[in-house]
Structure 1
């Protein structure tokens, strides 16, 4: 029942006439007694890598002995995994209890000019009530869309993190990298340190905003850096260095060089908050936190024989990182590509980086009203690569077909959308 109630609120997808903004969140939080002001947050924005960076941070703090809340979106296995404490997801009963606190406040503002909150705003409010009730020491807090007007941007965090900026959600965030960077940079707060791995031209926009609000900024490649040393399908190691710290041979199980960047952002943030006494962490906690970090659907190996990888890359920046990782990890090994993509992502920049790796393609579609038609995707792929293409509408059946037909010299890669990855992961979990 709680999920039905949550889904009864309008989604911000351009069809409801809902405007992005913080007014509804601020009004509801005020009516609840501003519970967010009793919590400590690390706010993470960016086009890609938000979830992984949040996972690294949460793992580090959990290893340091803190009680850690983590808020991410979208979910991967089930709705409840988008908010957790020390890796334990919120329950249906808990959410129902917090909803009872929220319902009269929503009813009160519904009749005013503020109007109906969105589904994401309701989920974000429930998360705040959950973390307060759970008495967490820190919340690792991921933005939903953009930053400046995102529902999560009602908090004043201990630190802000912007992973990177690429082209995605242009309809809502603006058509250019600079426009999108301006929205992401909106999470910068006066006096709150900001850490970023963004590159030009986005970096100048972020630094300008940081200077405007007097937020000290630390940049990957200038104020801290990493040197990658070894990598394989088992994981990778890198050295981290900042102005006053050097850590050699940090290990992570996450695959792809982009994860070294995400891990370095987490390390830089955790070291700063440790050095200023806000959230002390030991070197051992930092090392073990990185090594123990897992994040579903990000170049995740779900089977080794045959090799089956899941990756939720769904925009040009993400698929370029995926392509670079495939190139170094698989070499000449051909990929049996299972693709399920959303209609608005069916553009050349999204699939083009990974199609050259495909020896065969199975086109499928996630269970979403936004899913691209399998015929359209097959036609799109056929225009770009001359390889055998099958069309199997349901993700589980497509994954089963791939596993049954994969050849010795091939690896299976399921990608195109986090919705596709969610269904594939549920299926592979059940099959063992």
Structure 2
């Protein structure tokens, strides 16, 4: 298959929607020879921060001279971003070849009477197969949704990480944090250590599940924590202490208090791997963390005489992180916001955190059928933040052109509310910067 043919095939598979359950992926991996058993795995879930933690851990490992596969979702601009070796995306050609090999296995299991796999299951299988082809030492695998019934949950990792637990994806994981915590705790495997920054009721559930499975839990603020953090040029310095080792002074280019917690989780996970793997050292881990980048997570770009911020802020907790990080870096400077929010998110909470009096908001549709109608969001913004100006725009590119035109040198333009609009926004920015 060419890359375009692979995309058409995945598009057709997406019509099956999201169907939790492990029967299809188990059959699919068996048809491919269970490649996921050929390398070590770190498995990461959580409501927010799982992509950042996945990035931190994979950078620490490949900076230590190991070959590392990384599987994340969603992508911002291309499906090739989801499957990486070290810090390079799979090529379009390799992606096409890979999907055509997985299609053979899909056709086999369907002819054996198994239901057709979903798009995410096909991508998961493709990633696991590619990592075997590429002879990786480790794969750092981010859960797509929840944990328990997620298609990545057929792996037995060296370490499991549950970043945090807040309300998101209620339709699939339950309506209370307790139910959601149960789903996330579904990735805990027998005798495999678990690192988590979950607190309160979710932490108790994670601890209960871990106890049943004889898995040791390393909890934030109990077994490891943050001694200090300070914003510095280009990022932040964070001192993380763990119960069984000297405090580590770490630098990350990623801003915000939430990133310091993500980094602490990554440190704990990597230290657990270090116990068995002599190629990882404190030095290579620190260097890996300092080199880590993760697009669209409070990503600040300066250009066109403006400051641009690209951030997901796509659920209540993410929006709160956006608000705290913005206040820390830019105080209460007014901003122009290009925003889309999906229908199934807590829209009021996101608007309350992100939009402040004096801001101008341009609401656009996100390129998915889950997007909220812009007019509906404009009404909500006017109601929740009467001192902000809100209007619609037809597309992300139109909104950015408008925002640019109506701002002056030194102003701040933020794009947030959904990861789905960040690809178009970054494309627009790169295009304008190159002209």
SS of 2:104 mapped into structure 1: helix
Paired residue for 2:38? 38
Please say if 1:103 is aligned against 2:87: no
Displacement of 1:215 in angstroms is 0.8
Distance across 2 between alignment mates of 1:401 and 1:293: 32
More moved, 92-101 vs 157-166? 92-101
2:84 aligned counterpart, secondary structure: strand
Residues 11 and 20 of structure 1: is their aligned pair in 2 closer, same or farther, counting only changes over 3 Å? farther
User: Is residue 266 of structure 1 aligned with residue 251 of structure 2?
Assistant: no
| Residue in 1 that maps onto 2:414 | 413
Q: Partner residue of 1:5?
A: 9
- Structure-2 separation of matches of 1:180 and 1:200: 13
Maintained 8 Å contact 2:161/2:196: yes
Q: Give the equivalent residue in structure 2 for 1:286.
A: 285
Structure 1 CA distance for aligned equivalents of residues 292 and 421 of structure 2: 22
Question: 2:211 aligns to what?
Answer: 211
Could you tell me how far 1:23 is from its partner in structure 2?
0.7
Matched, 1:141 2:145: no
Q: Distance in 1 between matches of 2:357 and 2:296?
A: 19
Look up the match of 2:388: 387
Measured after TM superposition, the shift of residue 232 of structure 1 is: 4.4
Matched, 1:198 2:194: no
Q: Output the CA distance in 1 between the equivalents of 2:408 and 2:233.
A: 19
SS at match of 2:297: coil
Residue by residue, what CA displacement relative to the aligned partner does 1:34-59 show, whole Å, maximum 9, x if unpaired? 11111211000000001100111111
Moved more, 165-174 or 84-93: 84-93
Deviations 1:35-84 (A, max 9, x none): 11112110000000011001111111111111111100000121101111
CA RMSD of aligned residues (A): 1.6
Does the Cα contact within 8 Å between 1:45 and 1:143 map onto a contact in 2?
A: yes
Change (3 A) 1:54 1:285: same
Write the distance in 2 (CA, Å) between the matches of 1:231 and 1:339: 27
Deviation at 1:335, TM superposition (A): 1.6
Structure 1 position 12, deviation (Å): 5.9
In structure 2, how many angstroms separate the alpha carbons of the residues matched to 1:129 and 1:88? 17
- Asked if the contact 2:31–2:108 (Cα under 8 Å) also holds between the matched residues in 1, the reply is no
Unaligned runs of 5+ in 2: none
Instruction: Give the distance between the partners of 2:137 and 2:389, measured in 1 at CA.
Output: 53
SS in 2 for 1:103: helix
Shift of 1:8: 1.4
- Note if contact 2:315-2:345 (Cα within 8 Å) is conserved in structure 1: yes
Aligned length: 427
Shift of the alpha carbon at 1:11? Answer: 4.9
Residue 152 of structure 2 is matched in structure 1 by 152
C-alpha distance in 1 between matches for 2:15 and 2:348: 27
- Per-residue deviation, residues 361-385 of structure 1 (Å, max 9, x unmatched): 1111222222211111111111111
Cα contact 1:67–1:137 (8 A) shared by 2: yes
Deviations 1:211-255, CA, capped at 9 Å, x for gaps? 111111100110011123311462100111111222343111101
Partner of 1:297: 296
Determine the structure 2 residue equivalent to 1:310. Answer: 310
Please tell me whether residue 115 in structure 1 is matched to residue 115 in structure 2: yes
